[in-house]
Amino acid sequence: MKSGSNLEKILEAGHFAFTGELGPPRGANAEEVRKKAAFLKGNVDSVNITDNQTAMVRMSSWASCILLLQEGIEPNYQMVCRDRNRLAMQSDILGAYAHGIRNILCLSGDHCKFGDHPQAKGVFDVDSMQLIAMVKQMRDEEKFLSGAELDGAPKMFIGAAANPFADPFEWRVHRLAKKIAAGVDFIQTQCIYNMEKFREYIKQANDMGLTEKAYVLAGVTPMKSVGMAKYMKNKVPGMDVPDEIIQRLQGVDKKKQGEEGIKIAVEQIEEFKEMKGVAGVHLMAIEWEHKVPEIAEMAKVLPRPKVD
């Protein structure tokens, strides 16, 4: 065991993992975190806490992670390269581990331009690949990036994101290989809508032996409406939403679009359970945390297994 996190135990035991996500509030409202977390408790193996997602200032990821720990939920600490240099990153990782955080997801981070402080200077002292390598070095070699020894190594289960759809498509599986070479234990992919392309991607990953080296969790985000689907298709960089998805949502009554979106997500999860190379699903129900119990139920991933 590298970290002993629940997520690692579930995956090691060969269970199909099911992880969730929670966006911290735009303020110091801890109650909001607890409220959202309640919907996730018992329904997922670990909950990703986003780190100033879309470059909007929110309650810090590690602080929200601690709130989850207090509620008896395992967090997955997301860390982006945009807001901190290597000193701040390493000290936050040490602090997070000291508080009981055992999973970390290493990300580049959306550009500041998208957020509420577009004038901010993006740090990017290290990139996501280098962050992965840095956390691995801290964990396995018990050394800081500088090479100096650590007094108490943070034994983290190291994750990263992968976008199978952003171009150049041919390069994406190699980028996955690179993240594995840098030291990731698990991958959570970008939201998948183009299943055909994802099947091709995971086949490439299987053929290259990558899915044996790291656990790949397929990213699922249920569409709430036609509007959301169109927004994802046209406005979110690197997102691939086929027209069939939009047409299917358009085919039902406006009030039922959310229901249809959940149906699509459940069908996807059913397929991922059977797909070679997919070790689990990462459900990103964006501002829809209260729907997670229903989706988990419909996708027949409950009860969540317990591994000691």
Partner 1 sequence: MIVAKRKPIEEIKELLSGYQKVLNVGCGTCVSVCLVGGEKEVNILNAEIEMSRKMEDNPIEMGAACVERQCDREFLAALDDKVGEYEALMSMACGVGIQFLAERFPDKPVLPAVNTTGLAVNQDIGWYEERCRSCGNCVLGWTAGICPVTMCAKSLYNGPCGGTNKGSCEIHTDQPCAWHMIYERLSQQGRLDLLMKVHPANDWQDIGPRTLIQPGYEKTVEEGQKK
Q: How far, rounded to the nearest angstrom, does the alpha carbon of residue 187 sit from its chain's CA centroid?
A: 8
By the rule CB under 8 A, 110 interacts with partner 1:
yes
Shortest CA distance to 76 belongs to which of 51, 95, 108? 51
- Using CB under 8 A as the binding rule, whether residue 113 contacts partner 1 is answered as yes
Q: Which residues, listed in sequence order, are joined to residue 188 by a DSSP beta bridge?
A: 161, 217
Question: Is 166 a binder of partner 1 (CB under 8 A)?
Answer: yes
Query: Quick one: which segment of 33-41, 95-103, 130-138, 281-289 binds partner 1 (CB under 8 A)?
Result: 130-138
DSSP reduced 3-state for 217? strand
Q: CA 253, CA 256: separation in Å to the nearest integer?
A: 5
User: Shortest Cβ distance from residue 69 to partner 1 (Å)?
Assistant: 28
Q: Are 59 and 24 in contact (CB under 8 A)?
A: yes
Torsion 118-124-125-131 (CA) sign: positive
Looking only at residues 90 through 109 of this chain, which bind partner 1 when binding is defined by CB under 8 A? 108-109
Smallest distance, partner 1 to C-beta of residue 219, A: 11
| Angstrom distance (rounded) from CA 140 to CA 11 | 20
Q: Which residues contact 31 (CB under 8 A, 6 or more apart)?
A: none
Q: Closer to partner 1 at the Cβ: 202 or 262?
A: 202
Of the candidate residues 181, 243, 244, 256, the single one contacting partner 1 (CB under 8 A)? 181
Sole residue written with tokens 């000291």: 98
Q: How far is the CB of 45 from partner 1 (least distance, A)?
A: 23
With respect to partner 1, which residue has the nearer C-beta, 132 or 285?
132
For partner 1, the binding residue among 12, 125, 142, 270 (CB under 8 A) is 125
266 residue type, one letter: V
Q: Which of residues 190-249 bind partner 1 (CB under 8 A)?
A: 190, 237-238
**Binding-site ranges for partner 1 (CB under 8 A):** 81-82, 86, 108-111, 113-114, 122, 124-130, 133-134, 145, 161-163, 166-168, 171, 174-175, 177-178, 181-182, 190, 237-238
